[in-house]
Structure 1
Amino acid sequence: MIVREHEKEFILIEQHNHGHLAKDIMSKFSKAMFPEDRWRESILTAIANHDIGWSSFDRQPFWNDEKLAPYRFTDFPLLPKIVLYKQGIDCVETMDPYAAMLCSFHYEQFIENNEEREAKQFVEQEHKRRERLASQVEGFNHILFEKHYALLQLGDNFSLYCCVNDPGVTKEHEHIFFQNGIPSPSVFPELPSGRIPIHFADEHSIRVEHFPFTEGFSVEYIQRVIRKDTIAEVGLQAVYDQANEERITLHFC
């Protein structure tokens, strides 16, 4: 779950909704860096579904007793997170083997240095999965795979920028992840080195410097707003189930 906290409420965005937003954003990406070739649909499938493993978990959000808040994707416990990682990759593999390879590599980056036994087992199993799938994907190319994974990363980060920040937030109050911009993959020399500058121009518009998209465009995501006092009265699940979905529209320019 993606969670923004205010004084009297939490704003919750399900991870899989964030994935669909990432796909919508990257479908507008520069054709020079993301061409209309045989790989494009597989990459978009990976981008849209890279967090599909969270779907069932996010429909029943977990309460963090220590922080008195819903668990965020950043502090969700390791062992159940590994379960949903694997579940998500398994699901993507039934759609598209190459997309599953991209998602497998994506999740591995989060825990590759973790010393827990389950984390090491996950990394080893995902290595074997990618080796198996690579032998099945005609024309698999390691250099291309690196570029395709960079596109997934960009989609993830552009979408996260939209979701973890309140619309119209000033630069100094942005989420710490993005106060210096969006990470810029080195495999694309067309992009600025290090970080891509980005900020809210107003409550509805996001301005991206060195604009890497084909044109200006609008996207939307779904959020739910839940009041803290109501959680105390009836519990997180009941409040979440009763909360209306709100559609937030943002324009990239």
Structure 2
Amino acid sequence: MFITKHNDGFLYIVNQYDHSIQAGEVARHWGNEQFDSPEHFDSFCLAVEKHDIGWIDSDAKVLFNPDTCQPVPFLKVNLLQHVDFYGKGYEKVKEEDPYAGLLVGMHWMGLYTSRFGYDPSFTFNIPEELASFIDDTIVNKQKEWVDLKMQLWNRSMPKSKFEDQLWLNYELVQLMDRLSQYVSMHKLDTKEEITIGPVRKSINSEGEMITVQGQGDGTIVLDPFPFKTPVETTVRFRKIPDARYESHADVYKVMEEAEMEFITWKFVPKNKELIK
């Protein structure tokens, strides 16, 4: 769960899988005269849409921290649970679409490796006693991907091109994840500016950062703008009082009774002109 506070006495809660579905809907608008649509586009979009599918059960049950007496935000989830949730999601997506599953697996392992160096500012906090377990998990999954990549590689193209396109798609998954996190963890009046990326406009270009800034009215300016047209997107969330709950049962009951609410955002280019 994404759990944020906005100084109004409430916790704002977005389920992990709702976040990934929303991100996947936006991903389908990717590409314009500046930004190429990647190869394996449908698989890329499916990977974005389902990268957090392994969290469905945990979101429904509501993870509870007895020390804080509140639900557990995604960055504070027990590491063994984190591995278990993502592992189940990876296997599920891989069965449906092996290429998308590979991207979900790369996203999963990237959370323990600063996104494979793509985003050095982020990596999941790994306790010292679990470091060797995570190292083994990362190595074993990458060994598994050797066979999977050989199955997916179209031998009419150079293997290096296949690998480069795969990593480009991985980078786009990360960018869509970060963009969705922005709208999932802010209110409509935000004017916060962040940079996400780097992102390549084509397979052969250098990566560049995208500036993301709210305008205070639910409009978000992206510069440069990577989508075909301005994109409207809706975030599903619930609010519960920012309080200490006596038990898991108490917070679960409050979560169950909380009304689902919706916020609509709009991504637009800096120059306000429609992309043609």
Q: TM (normalized to structure 1)?
A: 0.87
Q: How many Å apart are 1:46 and its aligned residue?
A: 0.5
Is the aligned partner of 1:35 residue 2:37?
A: yes
The alignment status of 1:148 with 2:169, answered yes or no, reads yes
* SS, match of residue 174 in structure 2: helix
Q: Which moved more, 1:209-218 or 1:136-145?
A: 136-145
The residue aligned with 2:140 is 125
Change (3 A) 1:123 1:63: same
1:162 aligns with 2:183: yes
Structure 1 residue 129: Cα displacement: 2.5
Structure 1 pair 21–129 and aligned structure 2 pair: CA distance change class (3 A): same
1:92 equivalent to 2:107? Answer no
Is the counterpart of residue 180 in structure 1 residue 194 in structure 2? yes
1: CA distance between counterparts of 2:258 and 2:206? Answer: 40
Displacement, 1:116?
2.2
Unaligned runs of 5+ in 2: 115-125, 269-276
2:215 counterpart SS class = strand
- Per-residue deviation, 1:249: 0.8
**Superposition deviation, residue 102 in structure 1:** 0.7
The 1:41–1:210 alpha-carbon spacing in structure 2 relative to 1, beyond 3 Å, is same
- Tell me the residue number matched to 2:253: 238
Matched to 1:25, the amino acid is: V
Equivalent of 2:240, from 198, 211, 226?
226
- Alignment check: 8 A CA contact 1:54 1:88 kept: yes
Identity of aligned residues (%): 21
Residue 191 of structure 1 contacts residue 212 of structure 1 at CA under 8 Å; is this kept in 2?
Answer: no
Amino acid at match of 2:190: V
CA RMSD in angstroms comes to 2.4
The one-letter code sitting in structure 2 at the alignment partner of 1:222 is R
**Residues 1:215 and 2:217 are matched in the alignment:** no
Listed one character per residue, the Cα deviations across residues 175-199 of structure 1 (whole Å, up to 9, x for unaligned) are xxxx432232357587873x31111
Instruction: Please give the alpha-carbon distance, in whole angstroms, between the structure 2 residues aligned to 1:125 and 1:226.
Output: 40
TM-score by length of 2: 0.80
User: CA–CA distance in 2 between the matches of 1:228 and 1:235?
Assistant: 13
* 2:212 paired residue number: 198
Using the TM superposition, give the Cα deviation of residue 48 of structure 1 relative to its aligned residue in structure 2, in angstroms: 0.4
Where do residues 61-100 of structure 1 align in structure 2 (5 Å cutoff)?
Answer: 61-100=62-101
